[in-house]
Structure 1
């Protein structure tokens, strides 16, 4: 599933910024928050696709 791969990619790319944000880097914190918005959107799309599969759709 392409969206699931994208979700994993976002998480992997954000790992360094999470560490920096924990150390007090405000810019890294901003990047993490933006990435989490992307994670939320990707997760919602995955959920929609799974529901469609469960309904027998595409």
Structure 2
């Protein structure tokens, strides 16, 4: 559950940069969005592995 909370925090933290990139054309914000999305992908993969492990140990 801790990692899921971190996913929510990451999404909330990137919201302003998404707005700046898509509506303001700020390319630096786009770079930050891409980095955060990569972090989200990695975190999601960790969560998937934990869920699979927990499911298989029951």
Q: Do both proteins adopt the same fold according to a TM-score greater than 0.5, normalized to the shorter chain?
A: yes
1:43 aligned residue: 44
Larger helix share, 1 or 2: 2
1:37 is displaced (CA, Å) by 0.4
TM-score with structure 1 setting the length: 0.93
Q: How does 1:14-53 map to 2 (within 5 A)?
A: 14-22=14-22, 23-53=24-54
| Number of corresponding residues | 57
Stretches of structure 2 lacking an aligned partner (at least 5 in a row): none
1:9 is displaced (CA, Å) by 0.5
TM-score with structure 2 setting the length: 0.93
Stretches of structure 1 lacking an aligned partner (at least 5 in a row): none
1:2 aligned residue: 2
